[in-house]
Each structure stands twice: as structure tokens, then as C-alpha cells.
Amino acid sequence: MLDFNEKKGFICDMDGVIYHGNRVLPGVNEFLEWLKSNNKEFLRMETKI
């Protein structure tokens, strides 16, 4: 099993992972706070069609 505490950073797609439509998905605020409090890097990817 992966230990996310060992990771230095994360790359996340935005649509469907962070939000859906105009709504932030459940758990996202906690995930972002965890990233900040653990000094993790965060790269967001957003595709425009």
C-alpha cells in the first residue's frame, strides 16, 4: 500500500477530482489543508475544451 506521507508532492486534475461543475467535492478542503500542513507540493492541471 502507498504511504502518501512519503510523497513530496501531488499532481491533480481539477475537474472531477477537486470540483465537479461549480461544486468542490467532499474531502478536498481537508486534502488541501493536509498538503499545506505537511509542506507538500501541489500542481493542478486543468483542461479546457
CA–CA dist 19, 16 (Å, integer): 5
Regarding predicted confidence, which is higher, 45 or 25? 25
Instruction: Answer whether residue 48 shows pLDDT above 70.
Output: no
* CA distance linking residue 37 with residue 34, whole number of Å: 5
3-state secondary structure of 34: helix
Number of domains forming the structure of the chain? 1
Q: Which domain holds residue 22?
A: 4-45
The mean of the pLDDT values for the chain is 86
- Give this prediction's pTM: 0.71
